[in-house]
A and B are shown apart, each in its own frame.
Chain A
Amino acid sequence: MQFDSLYFFVFLAVTFLLYYRLGHKFQQLVLFLASVFFIAFLSPKLVVFTLIFVILNYFLGIWLQKKAETRFRVTVFWITIAANIGILGFFKYINFFFENVNLFLSLINAPGSVKLLDLIIPVGISYYTFQALGYLIRINRKAEKAETSFLAFANYLIFFPKFLAGPVERSNHFFPQISKPVLFQADNVTAGLRLFLWGMFKKVVIGNNLADPVYQLYNNIENYTGLPLLIIFFLQAIHLYADFSGYTDMALGVARIFGIKLVDNFNRPFFARNVGEFWRRWHISLSSWCNDFIFSPFIVKYRKYGNKAAIAGIFITFYVIGIWHGANWTFVAVGLLQGIAISYEFATKRKRLQIASRLPQGLVTFVSRTLTYLFFSLTLVFFNSQNIHDSFYFLSHIFSDFRFNLSGNKLIYDSSSFFVAIIAFGVIYIKEALQEAKVDVPGYFYGLPRGLRWTGYYLMMAFVFYYSGAGDAFVYLQF
């Protein structure tokens, strides 16, 4: 059940009415049952898996809490962490590991090979595993107590708006909201619906329309050289942003309808002036999770090694971010490249600031943003490629054999949709630029007379309606 399907709208309307009509006592139960139904609609087997996962972590949390003041605390803690990483590793990475073992065996001409397992990766596993890990780490740190309400805990892990593709929610942010009764507030519902519509507009009008050329190229990469590669090099970041931030807005919007504010994932990432800042603006829920639970503890523990510890921490953190996306060397390469860039920024910060101080501020900002965008686009070549070989093909052919006839290259089949997507992104970019300059664009829009606002909503709905249907799977569902 995708967010932009009619099934989902009916499901949402029924859940909404039950949630607010049945009274406060049943609100957690309604959300839990709705989430179970949502997952069952994807796959009944997935319900069994996720419920086992939820029950396991519910009791692991309570167990850890009970042992908090005993000498077994550390052992119990590592058992809970190993259980979660073990489950994630088994489903997501075991075959990748076996493939590489087989590759190694073939390289040394060793006989035999390891048989790959016939596994289906449970949808959303990376998201709820990280949420469970964050919760257990916080209990171990005594930053919070284990949640005793099963419904609250289950909703923390499988609340349907964030089940498929996050955001990676924090327990200390979620539990206080889910634990108290939510009164119907028209402002909440309106804000949620607006956010949902806005996300859908980004996803359908920009994401879907750019998905065709991006996938067309990456699925047939050796048919392309020169200009098509260059165009996709620049466009793929816009495609991914529209797709993922569109999904996130829809998820946040749905949660908001139920009076719950999930953590946001994006803060105008294309206005970042360096890679470090970029990661404070892009997929924030994941990058901040990695910062709080991997990077920070690591450099605290190894602070006696100074900058070496910081750089090692950066590489470990971005290795985890890279491999979190999937079991493929391309994602390892993404993490490695990010690690190199941020380590470089860390090591040269003082020098770069000295140079920048001698140049006009506007120029520094422009160049910094452009370089950050280009670097992110470079890493997306690895992110989008099916394997490392394709990534190197992309990069080695980007400036060769230029052909200016794009339709001849069969990259852009529907040019009008393509240009609508570009124009729509232009509008979003201008909005974000104004917001970056502290102009309250949404506030201005909400202050308009109702007739104008509603016309705006109808227009957005018309665009969504017209362009819905193609390329409609969300990129981040696969993770």
Chain B
Amino acid sequence: MNKYLLKGLIFSIPLLLYVLIIIVVDPYNFLNISHVISNDDKFRVIQRTDESSPRGNILWKTVEFRRKPVKNLIIGDSQGRDINVGLIRELTGEDYYNFCFPGASFNTMFETFWFAVEHVKPEKVYFQVAFMNYNTHREYDLFHFAQDYFDRPWEYFTTKEIFIDSFMNLVWVLTRNPKVINRSYEFLNQEELQHLAQFRLDLFFKKYEYPQNYNREFKKIKAYCEAHGIELEFIILPVYKGVDEHLRNTGLFDEKLRFKADMQSLGTTYDLDRLSEIKSERSNFIDYFHPQPAIMDSLVTMLWGSQGIIGK
């Protein structure tokens, strides 16, 4: 039997090698043993596709936050992903953590909030909220992409996603081929982006139903924040005016106003979607929903700068 077990061990060598690769590459610093590949590279590889970006950002950020919690949080979706916390630090001297995930629904944001308060007692929490997700038909939760690994850590070695991420990290580091990391929608040409924008308008607004549950959950969060002395505010980022035109054409513009009113009823809301000089220019946006990084920096300055509106 011992001989047989030895044979089994030899057979398992490729499997052990595989485990070793995961340990060495560790695409999300989940194990935090080896740092052969830099964090910049790993984070860039996560953003490579529209499939890897949502799940990757969630796992990356939750792992990072769990290890080094920050007391000021910005929780949101892909719109808020480019909110530059380094710039906020320069402007305010305070550390913020950007918990905005591509593809995040409101449920994902709620889960993120409850996850964060398990690890730190926050001082300020900003919810970056968007009408595009304020819809019962967009009730899903991406947070399991992180929670699954926290609940069952061995899955870090047994899921194909981690294997593919590790492999792509190796390919990127060894080849530096931009095609490895540039396959997200952000790298589409103008015409393709236009097509995507139309597709997303349909995706977000084809079926609309007012989400009762979100308001209820926000009220729970508000009560929690009040009970624990946490400052809770809301940010609405601008979208291209084409979105509003589409909403008017489909009879949903009033629902958007209702969404804004809901947010305002919950707490201080910075509605940057009123800034017509930004909204009217297509080039200010990647697609219809996502402001360009430079525009985002100017919005951050507008909010947190010395002349900023936050705290005024």
Contact = CB atoms under 8 A, between A and B. Distances in A.
Contact of A6 (B4, B11, B154, B160): B154
Contacts of B163: 465
A458 B163 CA distance: 16
B160 A466 contact: yes
Most A-side CB within 10 Å, residue of B4, B159, B163 = B4
A6 B14 contact: no
A454 B4 contact: no
Nearest to B7: A186
Contacts of B36: none
B158 interface: yes
B10 to A, nearest CB: 9
A6 B158 contact: yes
B225 to A, nearest CB: 37
Contacts of B155: 6
A189 B159 CA distance: 27
A457 B8 CA distance: 13
A20 B1 contact: yes
Contacts of B160: 465-466, 468-469
A44 B4 CA distance: 35
B159 A454 contact: no
Interface string B170-183: 00000000000000
Contacts of A189: 4
A184 interface: yes
A78 B123 CA distance: 73
Interface in A178-234: 184, 186, 189
A329 to B, nearest CB: 34
Chain B: interface size category: 10 to 19
A466 B167 CA distance: 13
B154 A184 contact: no
Interface residues of A, number: 12
Contacts of A465: 158, 160, 163
A15 B4 CA distance: 16
A184 B11 contact: no
Contacts of A468: 160
Q: Provide the main secondary structure of the chain A interface.
A: helix
Nearest to A20: B1
A454 B13 CA distance: 12
B1 A184 contact: yes
B6 to A, nearest CB: 11
B14 A458 contact: yes
A469 B155 CA distance: 11
A51 B91 CA distance: 69
A189 B14 CA distance: 20
Interface string A146-190: 000000000000000000000000000000000000001010010
B4 A186 contact: yes
Interface string A437-459: 00000000000000000100110
Interface string B23-59: 0000000000000000000000000000000000000
Nearest to A183: B1
A457 B14 CA distance: 12
A352 B155 CA distance: 57
B14 A469 contact: no
Contacts of A184: 1, 4
A58 B11 CA distance: 43
A415 B159 CA distance: 20
Contacts of A466: 160
Interface in B124-181: 154-155, 158-160, 163
Contacts of B154: 6
Nearest to A461: B15
A245 to B, nearest CB: 24
A468 B154 CA distance: 15
Contact of A454 (B1, B3, B11): B11
A33 B284 CA distance: 67
B166 to A, nearest CB: 13
Contacts of B158: 6, 465
A186 B1 CA distance: 7
Nearest to B164: A466
A457 B158 CA distance: 17
Contacts of A20: 1
Contacts of B14: 458
Contacts of B159: 469
Nearest to A454: B11
Contacts of A186: 3-4
Given A184-B4, A457-B11, 11 more contacts: A6-B154, A6-B158, A184-B1, A186-B4, A189-B4, A454-B11, A458-B14, A465-B158, A465-B160, A468-B160, A469-B160
19 contacts: A6-B154, A6-B155, A6-B158, A20-B1, A184-B1, A184-B4, A186-B3, A186-B4, A189-B4, A454-B11, A457-B11, A458-B14, A465-B158, A465-B160, A465-B163, A466-B160, A468-B160, A469-B159, A469-B160
Interface of A: 6, 20, 184, 186, 189, 454, 457-458, 465-466, 468-469
Interface of B: 1, 3-4, 11, 14, 154-155, 158-160, 163
